[in-house]
A and B are shown apart, each in its own frame.
Chain A
Amino acid sequence: MIDLAVKVVLALFVFFGVLNLAALHTWLERKQSAVIQDRVGANRASILGWRLMGLFHPLADSIKMFTKEDIVPAGADRILHTLAPVFSVFFALVTFAAIPFGDRVLLGGRVIELQVAKINVALLYIFAMLSLEVYGVILAGFASRNNYALLGGLRATAQMISYEIALGIAVVGVIMIYGTMDLQELVRGQGQNLAGWIPLWGIVVQPVAFVVFLTAALAETKRIPFDLPEGESEIIGYFVEYSGMKFGMFFLADFLETILVACLATTLFFGGWQVPYLTSSGFQFPWGATLPVSQPAYVLLGVVSFSIKVVIFCVLFMQLRWTLPRFRYDQLMRLGWLGLFPIAVVNVLVTASALAFLKR
């Protein structure tokens, strides 16, 4: 019973944390693009005269989305049309269950892993959920009874499937080095130091995999420079026939995916909740100094470290999104199959031989 309560609390924490971060993403998108482009950005929504740099705009947006008319096109499949955005958001949200956001907490004699679901094949679970998310997209295109939506759905599916392969293979190298698919264990494995002072994070041992992963992950989020499933301004995407909150849910799913990818990049390549030189007993700096840290502070530092890394990745993705132009479809496919895929495979082979050589 208490176990269940703990899980519910953890799930709610992750759920609301992630949803709020997704809402903040709309603010970040507006403001960061504005600052990059020497503009001011949305700043008019206010409550009692308080504008808070446009922070009320996500709120205004959601009110707008919820109160807009929800249109289902004539001849469209009503059930699938409604199901598609639900699919998108559901699978995006459910994936976060496997992400560890902190070390274990000892509370009342029980060990609580700061992770909604401790799955020993968490990475497989995440990739399975990411693949299922394609269904939301293809269903949206299919159920809208609109040829352009269907084409958009097909584009999205082709893109997501081809980049998922590169994504998966890029991660294999990391799995081989840390020897586990359990993300919590994988993060623990990144706690050691190389040569005494370099944190043994994924990026240090697998830099090529990181670049491939980041690129494929960006494509997976369906955002610029890989946004041709949507192409909001020119080509029409799979959600042409959606309005109101259903459209909002697709948008939300996009932001959720961005956060998910940021979480994954943090977990796999940037040591998750690890703070450099911090062990469960305190800081142990390479120059010999130590600084004792209590257990709750240690866990809290881990959660803060994880959040900061995720936010940095979100900002980086946003920066890329406002820097790069869109890929053409053939360029996109060529980059996926002839660029990232072979690089990822070679990376796996090199890693495997290096590991075999070092073990001997």
Chain B
Amino acid sequence: MAVKVLRRRDLTVWEKLYIPQIASGLKVTTAHLLRNLLLHSAHRLGLLQNRRAAVTFQYPEELRPLAPRFRSRHRLTVRDDGTPRCVGCMLCETVCPAHCITIVAGEHPDPNVEKYPVRFDIDLGVCVYCGYCVEVCPEDAIRMDTGILDVAAYSRDAMKLDIHELMNPSLRKPLTACMLEFPHECRLAGGEVSTRDHQRRN
């Protein structure tokens, strides 16, 4: 086996004096210090806002810009009349590797549209954010572009989103009223999540 000998360069006398090297190091840190102090002060006065003084994002107040293809929390897209674009084809529920989507389809009054979701639940505690549901949807009815990253809850039940939250991403639990105009199985109207999907999975 060939052995490659790496020889470290010896320090020159100039470098061994320490002080010039310390000075050059100080030059770097002081340049950063002065530049950032200037920018911080300018920001206080409302100037030079386009140049950042620190790379830090003050997270809860200031969000990092997301990549356009970033997969965040789901939402259901809506037709002009306020009903979901979803036609209850079950493709997303079928393709979902985590089995986190539950759809109950109902008959749509418009004869051109076959079905619509009476219930559409996603269990975010199970979801793996793979985005297959978005890829597979023929109607562009589900998207992952809400930009919501801070999905957190104190219980597993609270991680389950129903059709209200999916159609209106700004809604937050606990939901108190139902604004949906079309007939659907609504927790608020007493239509609790059935155990049907659990039975099917087991």
Residues of A within 8 A of B (CB): 32, 34-40, 211, 319-320, 322-324, 335
Contact residues in A for B40 (Cβ distance below 8 Å): 35
B55→A35 contact, CB < 8 A:
no
A319-B22 contact given A38-B54, A38-B55, A40-B58, CB 8 Å threshold: no
A323-B28 contact given A39-B55, A211-B19, CB 8 Å threshold: yes
A243 to chain B, nearest CB (A): 30
A35→B33 contact, CB < 8 A:
yes
A319→B36 contact, CB < 8 A:
no
Contact residues in A for B138 (Cβ distance below 8 Å): none
Contact residues in B for A36 (Cβ distance below 8 Å): 29, 32-33, 36
A322→B54 contact, CB < 8 A:
no
Q: Is the interface of B mostly helix, strand, loop or mixed?
A: helix
Chain A, residue nearest B30 (CB): A319
Contact residues in A for B47 (Cβ distance below 8 Å): none
B25→A324 contact, CB < 8 A:
yes
B56→A320 contact, CB < 8 A:
no
A323 to B32, CA, bound (A): 11
Contact residues in B for A211 (Cβ distance below 8 Å): 19
* Contact with A40, one of B25, B28, B54 (Cβ below 8 angstroms): B54
Q: Which 6 residue pairs across A and B have the least CB separation, nearest first?
A: A40-B56, A323-B25, A323-B29, A35-B36, A40-B54, A36-B29
Q: Render B1-42 as a binary contact track against A, CB cut-off 8 A, 1 for contact.
A: 000000000000000001100100110111011001100100
A320→B36 contact, CB < 8 A:
no
A331 to chain B, nearest CB (A): 10
A324 to B25, CA, bound (A): 7
A94 to B36, CA, bound (A): 38
| CB proximity to A under 8 Å, residues B52-106 | 53-56, 58
Chain B, residue nearest A35 (CB): B36
Chain A, residue nearest B36 (CB): A35
B88 to chain A, nearest CB (A): 48
Contact residues in B for A323 (Cβ distance below 8 Å): 22, 25-26, 28-29
A39→B54 contact, CB < 8 A:
yes
Contact residues in B for A322 (Cβ distance below 8 Å): 29
Chain B, residue nearest A339 (CB): B18
A335 to B55, CA, bound (A): 37
The interface centre, meaning the residue of A35, A211, A322, A324 with most chain B CB atoms within 10 A of its CB, is: A35
B131 to chain A, nearest CB (A): 33
Task: Return 15 A-B CB contacts under 8 Å, by A number.
Answer: A32-B33, A34-B54, A35-B54, A36-B33, A37-B32, A38-B55, A40-B54, A40-B56, A211-B19, A319-B26, A319-B30, A320-B26, A322-B29, A323-B29, A324-B25
A39→B37 contact, CB < 8 A:
no
B20 to chain A, nearest CB (A): 12
A211 to B33, CA, bound (A): 23
A335 to B22, CA, bound (A): 14
* Contact with B56, one of A39, A319, A324, A335 (Cβ below 8 angstroms): A39
A168 to chain B, nearest CB (A): 21
Contact residues in A for B18 (Cβ distance below 8 Å): 335
B10 to chain A, nearest CB (A): 15
A153 to B18, CA, bound (A): 27
A324→B22 contact, CB < 8 A:
yes
A347 to B24, CA, bound (A): 26
B22→A320 contact, CB < 8 A:
yes
A323 to B28, CA, bound (A): 8
Contact residues in B for A37 (Cβ distance below 8 Å): 32
A289 to B58, CA, bound (A): 53
B14 to chain A, nearest CB (A): 15
A319 to B40, CA, bound (A): 18
B21 to chain A, nearest CB (A): 9
B56→A35 contact, CB < 8 A:
no
A35→B25 contact, CB < 8 A:
no
A344 to chain B, nearest CB (A): 15
Contact residues in B for A40 (Cβ distance below 8 Å): 54, 56, 58
Contact residues in A for B29 (Cβ distance below 8 Å): 36, 319, 322-323
A45 to chain B, nearest CB (A): 14
A35 to B53, CA, bound (A): 8
A332 to chain B, nearest CB (A): 12
A36 to B37, CA, bound (A): 9
A320 to B21, CA, bound (A): 12
Contact residues in A for B58 (Cβ distance below 8 Å): 40
Contact residues in A for B37 (Cβ distance below 8 Å): 35
A38→B25 contact, CB < 8 A:
no
